[in-house]
Structure 1
Amino acid sequence: MKYQVLAEACQELEETSSYLDKNTIISDLLKKTPAEKLEMVVPLVLGRVFPAYVSQETGIGLQQLKKAVGKATGYSKDKIEDLMEELGDLGKVTEKLTEEKKQTTLAEETLTVEKVFQNLRKLPEITGEGSVDRKISTVSKLLTAASPVEGKFVVRTVLGDLRIGVAEGRLRDAIAEAYDVPPEEVEHAYMLTTDYGKVAKATAEEGEEGLTDLDLTVGHPVNPMLAQRAEEGIEEVLERVEGKAAFETKLDGIRIQPHKKKDEIFLFTRRMEDYTHMFPDLEDAVRESIKPNKAIVDGELVAINKETGKPMPFQEVLRRRRKYDIEDVAEEIPVHIYLFDVLLSGEKTMIKETYSERRKELDKIVDPGEKIKIVEQQILEDPEEIKALRNEAISRGHEGLLAKNLDSTYRAGRREFAWLKLKAEVETLDLAVVGAFAGKGDRAGTCGSYLLAARDKETDELKTVSKVGSGFTDEELENLTKKFEKLKLGEKPSNVDSEIDPDYWFKPQEVFEINYEEIQESPSEAHTSGYGLRFPRYVKTREDLDVSSADTLEDVERLFKKQEKRKSGES
């Protein structure tokens, strides 16, 4: 399949902002694609060559990529830098230079999807002496064979940002449209496989039946089931669960999904990242505690205070996320996994079983040890007992309780009222970071405040809700400025709806937890969500969340209505 077909579709996607038009463009591309090529085309439409759960870096940065562009086009470093200053996007620079190409001879070989996909997948494997030059040469050869529009999207793929406004959520509707299958079935299959390429191929080959045949695979993370806020407290919980539920302590850690296949162990986060190598001290513990040769379980990774044996705050877990000196930090900050659910037990898929049945299976297949525990639960129906249990959990430094409907199935990737969060009274929002404002005075040289947005579930757009500049320590401001330097964009991201123009735009990837005094209605020229926050304050960076899990406009509206109802009751 010619890469030109894919590149031209990406060009169309870049030029349209209509949700329906984007779906049609992707759908038409899928129909043109042979089924056996879909597992290459779909990732490339998302700007990558590995599934989201595969932690692979190309090892070729912006400066090396500029050298590859120069080598392919014959233009100098100074010329490329000047154009970068003007256009702010190396993809557009490549397109322009390819059009003006000094080298008049082009490679006879047509650039294909396979050639681009396979060569970019090879980049992480190129190691050792001279590896940087060999990586530059690999990309340069692709660019030498590329047309202007092909070159633009090859470069953007290497950078991991196509700038066409297509996130994974949009693939659901496009696949459904292309193959005339229910979008709910497409979404369910994705939640189980975390791979829209695999989903598209199965649908193209066998339609809806192909979707239903897709199942859990050890080593492929499953989108975890999520809890909804209990807006009205204990009374709402009991009403939604028909009077009785299982109550578990809500731990302050990182959601973790251990997989076991004989001796092979994987540890996946809620963001589908493979953290196995970061926690080598847990591999033997998981292997020994989980009895079946094949299993997928769900839990929370919690840092433990060596002296007291008690759980430590979430931020301490993050200190274990590092590439170097892992064993030293493991000794300094031990971690435990607290398990609370099972998705696969041996050959038995458990997600369609009730919570009660899954809990029985979890108790049967897990042999708790020093580092692997099972979360304690109590089945309660008395409001006073629930309140006492929540207060006890909060007094021990936990976030509160999770209430789980005894008859609920495991709804992968869904945030539903089958699981409900009963937290402390202070409400917070998890909002996507889309931009920042340069610091002044004591904050000069850092990002002094950030622009935050909520997610529109219908369109996948991010609509602004607040700016936040308080709650940060000096150290946090410095660290966040370094972190976001890698995410800076030259223009507003295509999926961000904002009337505010910050000093810097970011690739929407990170999520801040924010508390506030009040939610207020806001004119759209101020915040495009229609809401703003009074006295917002930074709590922490939600390292366990990606933007697809950020709070939605619906969440903000629901909290606003709850707040207004409470205020009217007080008056």
Structure 2
Amino acid sequence: GDIMYLLMGDIYPEYNEKRIGISNQLVIKAISKATGIETKKIIHEWRVIGDLGRVAEKFTLHKKQATLQSHVLTTEKVLENLRKLPELEGKGTVNKKMGLITELLTSAEPIEAKYLIRTLIGDLRIGIQESTIRESMSGAFFDRDKQASKKIQEAIDKSNDVGIVFEIARKGKLKELEKISLEVGKPIKAMLAQKVVTIKEGFKALGKPCAVEYKYDGFRLLIHKNSDKISLFTRSLENVTNQFPEVVGYVQKYVKGNSFILDSEAVGFDKKTKEYKSFQKISQRIRRKYNIEKLQKELPVEINVFDILYYNGKSQLDEAFEKRTKILRKIITKTPYKLIPSKQIITSSEAKAQEFYKKALEDNQEGVMLKNLKAEYKPGRRVGHMLKINYIKYF
């Protein structure tokens, strides 16, 4: 299963926050040490080729010193060394990292050196996507059965872990894949919308009636609660719980339920005028890891909850949106400028939807979302049953 991570250019499942975090400079030094070629020459070659992986491949081929400690590289050894890299801290870290990388490079064949270096710098360049892996599993273990592809995708969506899915799929048991479920506290990818230009076009695609909601100019926040533990994740699966202590408080206070996963948008506002601010004005709240108290006073956020993926022990992914939106509106105590359900109307009227869209723009938001009432929640997918209409300036 671990090989799946390497195929995706990683060493852990996607939800894992540990990153290799190696600079190009360190990689250049390691190539130099392993091949005996001076760094100046490596940098020159890199400028010409534009790919450190291919540079490593070239110089491994011309290795000046035939090293005595050459072994056959195994994926176990590669992962063992690479997984030590994020753990290293403190004095002498750079030299230890260098040692781990050089050990692999001196044992590597030229083509192995190429992909090893690309893995280290996070740029594998082989065009393998999740869909490639899904179809490969379906072909290898289920004779390309359409149903199997669907089940494999659902299992990947729920677990965010191609390694685990591979281990189950290789046994050829579809029923086992169905047992993979959402885990509260483990980040999940957000569902994404497709674009349309007009309300009319949106209604045509989704049918009537449909839900029309504000499209907020903030940042996506997936909120997990498991009894007393609350975690907040961004769209890119980064844990930002520590940056938003007040949001943790809002969730405890204004959302009923023992365990849940909510999909929301955090929107900044001016604390004096209560006017909504653009994402750019509050983006530093995600990035800053210090002065949290000062920042939360200067750049307050309101949490606008628009979907629920899991509630009190039960996944809601397969439930219709109209049911999910009812649940979330029932469990939230609407508290403006802290935590509220997203602004929403359910309508068949283009005129009403247009009016609502104008109101969203007046409130400094980006536009509106149109949602099919019968649709499921598809993590990580850009779906045709949720459409966004952004404000377009016509010059």
Fold similarity call, TM over 0.5: yes
Given the alignment, which residue of 355, 374, 379 partners 1:412?
Answer: 379
Contact 1:340 1:375 in 2 (8 A): yes
Partner of 2:32: 70
Whole-Å Cα distance in 2 between the matches of residues 313 and 249 of structure 1?
14
Find out whether 1:166 has 2:128 as its counterpart. yes
Deviations 1:169-225 (Å, cap 9, x if unpaired)? 322222222222433333232222222222222211244223322221223333323
TM-score under structure 2 normalisation?
0.89
Find out whether 1:176 has 2:143 as its counterpart. no
SS of 1:356's equivalent? helix
Partner of 2:366: 399
Find out whether 1:249 has 2:214 as its counterpart. yes
Contact 1:72 1:140 in 2 (8 A): yes
| C-alpha displacement of 1:383 | 3.1
SS of 1:162's equivalent? coil
Partner of 1:142: 104
Whole-Å Cα distance in 1 between the matches of residues 230 and 355 of structure 2?
38
User: Structure 2 vs 1, CA of residues 409 and 304 (structure 1 numbering), >3 Å: closer, same or farther?
Assistant: same
The answer for unaligned runs of 5 or more in structure 1 is: 1-37, 428-516, 518-571
Given the alignment, which residue of 212, 235, 238 partners 1:270?
Answer: 235
| C-alpha displacement of 1:425 | 4.8
After the TM superposition, which residues 1-16 of structure 1 pair with which residues of structure 2 at under 5 Å, given as runs? Answer: none
Partner of 1:379: 346
Q: CA RMSD in A?
A: 2.5
After the TM superposition, which residues 3-402 of structure 1 pair with which residues of structure 2 at under 5 Å, given as runs? Answer: 38=1, 40-107=2-69, 109-180=71-142, 181-182=145-146, 183-234=149-200, 236-327=201-292, 328-369=294-335, 371-402=338-369
SS of 2:373's equivalent? coil
Partner of 1:499: none
Whole-Å Cα distance in 1 between the matches of residues 59 and 193 of structure 2?
50
Contact 2:141 2:172 in 1 (8 A): no
Whole-Å Cα distance in 2 between the matches of residues 47 and 106 of structure 1?
29
SS of 2:89's equivalent? coil
Between the two structures, name the one with larger relative contact order (CA 8 Å, sep ≥ 6).
2
Residue type of the partner of 1:375?
Answer: S
Contact 1:320 1:326 in 2 (8 A): no
Whole-Å Cα distance in 2 between the matches of residues 110 and 358 of structure 1?
53
Contact 1:73 1:103 in 2 (8 A): yes
Whole-Å Cα distance in 1 between the matches of residues 44 and 381 of structure 2?
47
Contact 1:106 1:145 in 2 (8 A): no
| C-alpha displacement of 1:426 | 4.1
SS of 2:182's equivalent? coil
SS of 1:96's equivalent? helix
| C-alpha displacement of 1:341 | 0.9
Contact 1:60 1:132 in 2 (8 A): no
The number of residue pairs the alignment matches comes to 389
Residue type of the partner of 1:418?
Answer: H
SS of 1:149's equivalent? helix
| C-alpha displacement of 1:46 | 1.6
Whole-Å Cα distance in 1 between the matches of residues 320 and 30 of structure 2?
55
| C-alpha displacement of 1:118 | 2.4
Whole-Å Cα distance in 2 between the matches of residues 426 and 372 of structure 1?
31
Contact 2:225 2:259 in 1 (8 A): yes
Whole-Å Cα distance in 2 between the matches of residues 197 and 142 of structure 1?
23
Residue type of the partner of 2:192?
Answer: L
Residue type of the partner of 2:228?
Answer: D
Deviations 1:495-544 (Å, cap 9, x if unpaired)? xxxxxxxxxxxxxxxxxxxxxx7xxxxxxxxxxxxxxxxxxxxxxxxxxx
| C-alpha displacement of 1:86 | 4.0
Whole-Å Cα distance in 2 between the matches of residues 102 and 126 of structure 1?
30
Whole-Å Cα distance in 1 between the matches of residues 10 and 247 of structure 2?
30
| C-alpha displacement of 1:239 | 4.6
Whole-Å Cα distance in 1 between the matches of residues 381 and 50 of structure 2?
38
SS of 2:262's equivalent? strand
User: 1 or 2, which has the higher strand percentage?
Assistant: 1
Residue type of the partner of 1:274?
Answer: N
Whole-Å Cα distance in 1 between the matches of residues 195 and 132 of structure 2?
26
Residue type of the partner of 2:367?
Answer: G
Contact 2:216 2:365 in 1 (8 A): yes
Whole-Å Cα distance in 2 between the matches of residues 425 and 155 of structure 1?
43
| C-alpha displacement of 1:166 | 2.0
TM-score under structure 1 normalisation?
0.63
Contact 2:199 2:350 in 1 (8 A): no
| C-alpha displacement of 1:292 | 2.8
Q: Which moved more, 1:129-138 or 1:80-89?
A: 80-89
Deviations 1:59-105 (Å, cap 9, x if unpaired)? 43111122222222333323433433443322222223323333333
User: Structure 2 vs 1, CA of residues 146 and 357 (structure 1 numbering), >3 Å: closer, same or farther?
Assistant: same
Identity of aligned residues (%): 35
Whole-Å Cα distance in 2 between the matches of residues 341 and 164 of structure 1?
35
| C-alpha displacement of 1:354 | 1.5
User: Structure 2 vs 1, CA of residues 225 and 105 (structure 1 numbering), >3 Å: closer, same or farther?
Assistant: closer
User: Structure 2 vs 1, CA of residues 100 and 240 (structure 1 numbering), >3 Å: closer, same or farther?
Assistant: closer
Deviations 1:373-395 (Å, cap 9, x if unpaired)? 21132222333322222222222
Whole-Å Cα distance in 2 between the matches of residues 364 and 395 of structure 1?
27
